[in-house]
Structure 1
Amino acid sequence: MNQPEATQQSPFHTLLATLQDLLTLAEGFLATFLRPWNFYQLGIAVAVFVLAHLLAHWFTPALRDWMRSREGWPTWRMRLLIMVQRRLRMILFVVLIWLVVNVMKEVTWPSRSYLLTIIAELASAWLLIAFATRLIVNPGARSLMRYAAWTWVTISIVGLADETQNLLESVAIQIGDSRLSLWLAVQAVVLLVALVALARFLAGTGAASIRRNDSISPSMQVLAVKFLQVCLYGAAFFMALKLVGVDLTGLAVLSGAIGVGLGFGLQKVVSNLVSGVIILLDKSIKPGDVISLGETFGWINSLGARYVSITTRDGKEYLIPNEDLITGQVVNWSHSNDFVRLDIFFGTSYGDDPHLVRQVAIDAAAGVGRVLTDRQPVCHIVGFGDSSVDYILRFWISDPSAGLTNIRGNVYLALWDAFKANDISIPFPQREVRVVNETLPAIRD
């Protein structure tokens, strides 16, 4: 007697029974649907849709012209208007179909507007889902969430929610003491996508608010944004698991295994992560700073969890591990301020007046565009060479990210022009070759 009972309760028989119930409900629905007044209601719905299409075609140009005149509006408001403009036909259809339903309920029997009510509820739900899923940035996740929500709402409105749930519950596998059904998997995916989308929206909104706060330094802004993202995405993941009934106590064992793996195989990764947090906390570098690390000179684009992105003057982007910035010697040209002093060396002939040379050099450097005038250039004699008097010219700039080699070249060019205008010569080595014995012995074979 036990064997037949086990066979009766098998998942296969449960699935067949659920499918049979669905077929019975479908037959009953078709029998109810194939009535004359239902075709009248379908005709009314089609007429309302055609009217909504014509009205949308008439209103759309005026709405677009009005949107173009709204200059200076916030981005979120313009995006909302674009969504309304793209779904204007559906919005008008929902408004008109509910007006028709309310009128028919007043002048006819409830059965004469039953199908129209279902159509109105479906259209309203689909429209709300279309607007709500726009919060999901990823196109694939947005489409998945939208079609899943449309499917479930449609099933719920037509009264097949319980039967569909039973059907999905009957498709399951047994893993030890746990039973994993298709219904549980669908719930997990939908909840995870929805919560991650919500977390991403909240993270983006919070990050924008943090970046607008001028009282927070750039490095602390990056740290606050990263911390907010980790908290929100972590909360979304664990909430999704908890809501579908997954026991989170088993994650303790997984956390221990991850800790062992980090200790042996991911030392560099963890070191870079910790170094990134230290960099953000001590504010040693921040986005926009101009730094030199070894042979690499450029400005910081972004601070990542594992690396720092640096762009050089030749357009190359270097990804420097955070650990290298902590352990290596880094020259930050704009750590406390953007002022940078540059030195160039030159020499003039002994026949030129050094007082005149210094003044001409200072005036020439001050006339270059990027050289600061509130911090006057200075010029000093640094030595007497074999064939020239040697000088050093020092000047300040406030935009090191615009380049150092180019400003040095411009100053050298200004010195050349100024020295030529004032008859100041720049000596260069000259060599004489003298032949002592002009008569050379003949070369014998």
Structure 2
Amino acid sequence: MDFSSLQTKWNAFLHAANEAIVSTHFLVQICLIAGIYLIAYLLAGTLRSRIPFTQARPGEGAHSLHWLGWKLGGLLFPVLSITLLKLTTVLGKEYQFNAWLLEVALVVAVMLFLASFIRAFVTSDTVAMFMRWVGLPLVFLHLVGVLPAVVDALKSVSLSVGNVDISAYGVARVIIFGVLLFWLGRASNNVGQDIIRRHKTLDITTKEVFVKLFEVALFCIGFLLLLNIMGINLTALAVFGGAVGVGLGLGLQSIASNFISGIIILLDRSLTVGDYVELDDGSKGFVREFKMRYAVLETYDGKDILVPNEKFISSLLINWTHKDPKQRYRIDFSVAYKTDIRAMCDIIRDAVAQHPQVISGDHIPFEERPDCEIDSFGDSGVNMFVEFWMEGIDDGKNRVGGDLLLLIFETLRENNIEIPFPQREVRVINEEPMSIKNTTPK
């Protein structure tokens, strides 16, 4: 093919394009596209003004449904445009109208809509890049009618391993739909958990039960859909699963026990998020989160302890704050035997009651007010103790014990009350010096 033939074809293409542009059909389709976008814009604005969630951008800490509604409101215009364009192209074919420009506009509108959807809803950079560079080209090939030829080409590239045929199309389908299912499952899980935890009529334990069940249900649904995409017969899998279930039950006995223990803990309400607990091995911390297999305890020094759920049931557990956030604490000290104990107790009791975190006052029941008593008679002085009640745990930013020790020390010094220290008295029974006889060897 020489240059003259190419120039002839190019001139013919330009002539056909010029005739198409100046034709009546082209002008009619341009007017239709402009009218469709105008109607879609006005209709989308009307709908957004009447739907509360789509009117203004939600602030920080807003409900997930509020954010979802606001993002969906931003997609009203492209969705209405695509719907009207598709309806117009269908009517054009029905009445023998060559709506090629409308079909081109429809393809462009769909691609722009998908790009906006990815930008608005996909927060993961990796998943968003995968959808832009893999998902959007596949949608474009489908819209222009080229995708079946690509699928046939991928099916022709196959590899046989025994009785199993692995094709490039099967691998690509599993990867594409697997990524899509992963994103849908993760996004649905986050939104569902946020909706459940923000429900005002449910208590914390019931919310955690529903969150755990929702997470398990999503996992099962996603797993079954992925198996179906991979072409695995679920009926045959059920028969095989019955045989494997026994082996898995024995091998995963610990995991199953922890999962069931977590459900039992949440149902009997013996442990909730926010409780301060102490385990039999001395570990202490606040329950921050329940997982399928373990619970997260946050200590005052910033560490997270992952405790298997089974341990909360099978071992001794001290729950400090489940019944009542108020706790009683005790501080020990000593004074000299010459001290006026009755007067000293009143002084220390009044001093401890002045601390802002100590529960005190005439309106407080007598048994919850600060109290100073004798504990025992020691070798060097009288052993005393102070009991007091406070809200929360005496640790971290609520550390009261150290403040009260310093307060008691300063109060005793201000009132010239002696704090004893160990003393020993040595007595010599036989005061006569021992005589030493000098002997000389014979």
Which TM-score applies when normalising by structure 2? 0.70
The residue aligned with 1:430 is: 423
In the TM superposition, 1:319-338 aligns within 5 A as 319-338=306-325
- More displaced 10-residue stretch of structure 1: 162-171 or 338-347: 162-171
Distance 1:395 1:422 in 2: 22
SS of the residue corresponding to residue 363 of structure 1 reads: helix
Matched, 1:248 2:241: no
Q: Against the structure 1 CA distance between its residues 68 and 198, is the aligned structure 2 distance closer, same or farther, given a 3 Å change threshold? A: closer
Amino acid at match of 2:411: A
Identical amino acids, percent of aligned pairs: 27
Greater helix share, 1 or 2? 1
By how many angstroms is 1:297 displaced? 1.9
The residue aligned with 1:359 is: 346
Counterpart selection for 2:177 from 170, 191, 198: 191
Distance 1:198 1:301 in 2: 26
Structure 1 residues without counterparts, runs of 5 or longer: 1-29, 42-66
Tell whether the 8 Å contact from 1:299 to 1:401 is kept in structure 2 after alignment: no
The residue aligned with 2:116 is: 131
In the TM superposition, 1:262-411 aligns within 5 A as 262-263=249-250, 265-293=251-279, 294-373=281-360, 374=364, 375-400=368-393, 402-403=395-396, 406-411=399-404
Q: Against the structure 1 CA distance between its residues 302 and 439, is the aligned structure 2 distance closer, same or farther, given a 3 Å change threshold? A: farther
By how many angstroms is 1:334 displaced? 0.8
The residue aligned with 2:127 is: 141
Q: Against the structure 1 CA distance between its residues 329 and 438, is the aligned structure 2 distance closer, same or farther, given a 3 Å change threshold? A: farther
By how many angstroms is 1:188 displaced? 3.4
Q: Against the structure 1 CA distance between its residues 439 and 31, is the aligned structure 2 distance closer, same or farther, given a 3 Å change threshold? A: farther
SS of the residue corresponding to residue 310 of structure 1 reads: strand
Matched, 1:120 2:111: no
Q: Against the structure 1 CA distance between its residues 246 and 135, is the aligned structure 2 distance closer, same or farther, given a 3 Å change threshold? A: farther
By how many angstroms is 1:73 displaced? 9.2
Distance 1:170 1:149 in 2: 21
Structure 2 residues without counterparts, runs of 5 or longer: 1-8, 22-54, 437-442
SS of the residue corresponding to residue 400 of structure 1 reads: coil
Equivalences, count? 373
The one-character-per-residue Cα deviations of 1:180-239 (angstroms, maximum 9, x if unpaired) are 443344333333333443333332222112111244332332221111011123113313
- More displaced 10-residue stretch of structure 1: 293-302 or 226-235: 293-302
Distance 2:234 2:331 in 1: 66
The residue aligned with 1:24 is: none
Amino acid at match of 2:172: V
Q: Against the structure 1 CA distance between its residues 189 and 32, is the aligned structure 2 distance closer, same or farther, given a 3 Å change threshold? A: farther
Q: Against the structure 1 CA distance between its residues 440 and 290, is the aligned structure 2 distance closer, same or farther, given a 3 Å change threshold? A: farther
Distance 1:303 1:197 in 2: 23
Counterpart selection for 1:164 from 114, 136, 150: 150
Tell whether the 8 Å contact from 2:394 to 2:401 is kept in structure 1 after alignment: no
Which TM-score applies when normalising by structure 1? 0.70
Counterpart selection for 2:216 from 222, 227, 230: 230
Tell whether the 8 Å contact from 1:290 to 1:299 is kept in structure 2 after alignment: yes
The one-character-per-residue Cα deviations of 1:50-73 (angstroms, maximum 9, x if unpaired) are xxxxxxxxxxxxxxxxx9998679
Distance 1:146 1:299 in 2: 43
By how many angstroms is 1:36 displaced? 5.0
Amino acid at match of 2:113: L
SS of the residue corresponding to residue 394 of structure 1 reads: strand
Q: Against the structure 1 CA distance between its residues 170 and 349, is the aligned structure 2 distance closer, same or farther, given a 3 Å change threshold? A: same
By how many angstroms is 1:289 displaced? 1.3
Tell whether the 8 Å contact from 1:135 to 1:197 is kept in structure 2 after alignment: no
By how many angstroms is 1:275 displaced? 2.3
Tell whether the 8 Å contact from 1:121 to 1:157 is kept in structure 2 after alignment: no
Tell whether the 8 Å contact from 1:299 to 1:310 is kept in structure 2 after alignment: yes
Distance 1:233 1:38 in 2: 54
Coordinate RMSD, CA, aligned: 4.2
